Amino acid sequence: MKLKYLVSICYLLTTLHAFSQDNLFKASTIPVELRENASSVIRLAETRINIPKVDNLEHSYRRVITVLNENGNVDVLANVYYDEGISVKKLGAIVYDATGKVIKKYKKSDFNDVAAVSDISLFEDSRVKYIKYIPTSYPYTVEFYYEKSTKNTASIPKWHPLESFHISTEKSIYEITYNQLSRLNVKENNFNGFDIEKNIKDGYNIYIAKNLKAIKYEALKPSLKKIIPSLLMSLEQFNYEGYLGSAKSWINHGKWMYQDLLKNRMQLSENTKNKIKELVKEKESDIEKAKVIYNYVQNNTRYISIQEGVGGMQPMLASDVDNLKYGDCKALTNYTKALLDVVGVNSYYTRLYASPNLTSVSRDFVSFLGQTNHVILNIPNGDDNIWLECTNQKVPFGHIAGFTDDRDVLVITPEGGKIEHTKIYSSKENYLKSDADITLDINGGFKAVYKSAAGGTRYNAKFNVFESDTKDKSEHYKENWDYLNDLTLEKIELKNDRDNIEVTEHIEVTVPKYAVMAGEKMLIKPNVFKRSTYVPPRYSERKLPFVIQRGYVNEDTFEIAIPEGFAIEALPESKEIKTKFGVYKMSLTKAEETKVKYQRYLEIFKGDYPKEEYSSYRSFRRKIAKADKSSFVINKAN
């Protein structure tokens, strides 16, 4: 052990040798290629982790960052998070000017200390110590360091040598020394193409990354996680708030979580049990029973957010939720599971990373901490798993589009953990279909009856309108059809079919002036209600691949009756564009002498695409935006 430590110090000495401390604080020594696209440059970041015992983790950190311009101020991040279980021993910061001269020093007592509570949360015991330095000139350099220690070894600090967009890194070191009786799970992501050296021995690993160029932010980019190098580590055996946990495999890890964190949280009173049994007694199948219970939970609980100690990972007792009728995601999921258990329906507590972005739990790196932020409930159902969001009192049974869909998640069963993939919504399932009858008048205005049906991700948007607490929903439509000036909504009728997970709209509108007058002619845009204006931004040189996370389908048919005394003069040509990104079809036909029929079909496919194809996707969207604004012409028949 001692010898190994010595080796590590020698190794470090050699690596640091070439790096004069003075140069570190001078902005002029930053290599030109690291300034490209960068608002700030990490000159040196050192993370040193020491885990001598299963219940002792020492973390020392030092980071020198040079901020090049105003946009880089947010990258300074001279802050350290802690809670009751973490003690911050050493803490300080030094600010240097462009030439490397010290301009300000901060001691531990100079740091602000505030609760790190988000607005929605009732309680979190997390706190943060931070400084906020106001620069008077650029570039400037901030050296920041701390040492902290904790008994919890369940979560080992990650390494991201490239931290975010528009930050480059000159050098970043990550070193871990651990009790060699423990085994370490290590997961290296995206190291390829970056200058990263490593040296791995028993009980000791070191990684050194050098000269990582800044990445420019681009629209539709893949998640940062998929682009930048990162290093994840976990101990096979760790201490979590006094529990001895295991992370040998997902099975093993899940088993531990079930045994220590979940198993004894599900008791309910006999009274409640009887009530629940009574509720489902008419129901035959498991799914029908589950629906009744889900409905019961939705009608009898509400969501609040509490983050505290073990509570951060362990749910409130089901019996407490039963009494208080509120809880956070863990509590409400656990409660729903407890109720389902009473009526013999199998279900599993499931941890995942919830986000509109599709973020998966790693299949081959075992540790739930840092990989998950939310809990839902899984009801096994053959190939068609059911997933229940228990924190929302309104969402239909099994609907997860937009926030927890299409990703790998950790399902925790009594037999252990397993990685499953949540439901993928195909483009056809994310539909918005509409029909409209539009009658134009001689002044260029119109009356219309518009009907639509929406499902999947498209359901969410309409569902929000349906559920909004403003009586007057016309405001929403006025914003949505913002180009229909002086729009009056004569009728708004929304229906939410929770069983089929579909919202339907029946809307009647009038617009006093729509057609554009040009002498004796009128120009009319037949796409009255479904204009796509989205065109992704243009880049002179696209650097990153791009992602379309979810596909969808729009299908529209509008019939337009022209005013009396007018005749159709010209119709735009039909269009059909087929690309690998999607399909667009548009046609305008004469249905009767005084009626035209407009049909439009748009389907976008989900997918990952290389950067070379970005411009053709952009061109596809531009063509759609343009076609959606095309007009036909009528004139006064003489």
Partner 1 sequence: MRTLIIRIAIFFVFFSVNSQVYKFGKVSKEELEESYCKIDSSIGAEVIYKRQKVYVDRAKTYGFRQINEIHERIKIYNKNGFNWATKKLRLYYVTGSNRELVQGLKGYTYNLDNGKIIKEKLSKNGIFNNTESDRYKTKTFTMPNVKEGSVIEYTYKIGSPYREIDDVHFQYTIPIKRFDLEVVTSDRYVYSRMFNPRSDIIPRISNTTRNKAGFDFNENVLTSTVINVPPLIEEPYVNNIYNYRSKLIFELISIKSSGHTLKNYATSWEDVVKDINESSYFGHQINKIDAFKEEVNILKSSVSDKSLLMKLVYDYVRDRMVWNGLYGKYARNIKKAHKEKKGSVPEINLMLVAMLKAVGLKANPVLISTKNKGIPLIPTIDGFNYVIACVELNGKNILLDASEKYGIPGLLPLRAINWEGILVLKDGGFRKINLYPETFSQANVMLSLVLNDDGSIKGKQRTHYTKTDALRYRREYKNYSKEEYEEVLMNRFSFDEILDFDVKNIVDLEKPIIETVSFEIDEGFDVIGDNIYISPLFFLQKEANPFKLNKRKYPIDFGYPFSRKKMINIKIPEGYQVSSMPESLKIALPDNMGSFLFNVSKTPEGFNVMSTFKINTAIIPAHKYFEIKEFYNQRVAKEAEKVVLSRK
Contact residues: partner 1, CB under 8 A: 70-71, 112-115, 117, 122-123, 134-136, 299-300, 302, 304, 306, 320, 323-326, 393-394, 467-471, 475, 478-479, 482-483, 485-487, 513, 516-521, 523, 535, 537-540, 569-570, 572, 622, 626, 630-633
Q: Which is nearer to partner 1, 418 or 636 (CB)?
A: 636
Q: Which is nearer to partner 1, 119 or 364 (CB)?
A: 119
Q: How far is the CB of 577 from partner 1 (least distance, A)?
A: 14
Instruction: Label residue 375 exposed, middle or buried (CB < 10 Å: 0-12, 13-18, 19+).
Output: buried
Residues 260-284 as b or e (16 or more Cβ within 10 Å = b): bbbeebbebeeebbeebeebbeebe
Q: Which is nearer to partner 1, 128 or 419 (CB)?
A: 128
Decide: 44 and 170 in contact? Cβ < 8 Å. yes
Q: How far is the CB of 118 from partner 1 (least distance, A)?
A: 12
Handedness of CA 157, 159, 51, 79 (dihedral sign): negative
Count of other CB atoms within 10 angstroms of residue 112: 10
Q: Give the tokens for residue 467.
A: 């559920």
Q: How far is the CB of 561 from partner 1 (least distance, A)?
A: 20
**Cα angle at 203 between 201 and 207, to 5 degrees?**
60
Q: Which is nearer to partner 1, 112 or 574 (CB)?
A: 112
Q: What share of the chain is helix, strand, coil (3-state, %, to 5)?
A: 20, 40, 40
Q: Which is nearer to partner 1, 14 or 540 (CB)?
A: 540
| SS3 assignment, position 173 | strand
Handedness of CA 524, 526, 530, 531 (dihedral sign): negative
Q: Which is nearer to partner 1, 233 or 292 (CB)?
A: 292
Q: Which is nearer to partner 1, 112 or 211 (CB)?
A: 112
Q: Which is nearer to partner 1, 63 or 221 (CB)?
A: 221
Q: How far is the CB of 502 from partner 1 (least distance, A)?
A: 20
Count of other CB atoms within 10 angstroms of residue 621: 20
Nearest partner of 507 among 518, 494, 522, judged by Cα: 494
| SS3 assignment, position 275 | helix
Q: How far is the CB of 329 from partner 1 (least distance, A)?
A: 16
Cα dist from 379 to 353, 418, 445, 549, whole Å: 18, 14, 53, 25
Dist CA 506 CA 107 (whole Å): 64
Dist CA 389 CA 87 (whole Å): 36
| SS3 assignment, position 287 | helix
Q: Which is nearer to partner 1, 60 or 126 (CB)?
A: 126
Q: Which is nearer to partner 1, 412 or 511 (CB)?
A: 511
Say whether the peptide bond before residue 139 is cis (omega within 30 degrees of 0).
yes
Bridge partners (DSSP) of residue 516 are: 523
Q: Which is nearer to partner 1, 424 or 625 (CB)?
A: 625
Strands 184-189 and 112-115: unpaired
Torsion of CA 393, 399, 402, 403, to 10 degrees: 60
Q: How far is the CB of 60 from partner 1 (least distance, A)?
A: 27
Q: How far is the CB of 225 from partner 1 (least distance, A)?
A: 25
Helix orientation angle between 270-280 and 329-342, rounded to the nearest 10 degrees = 70
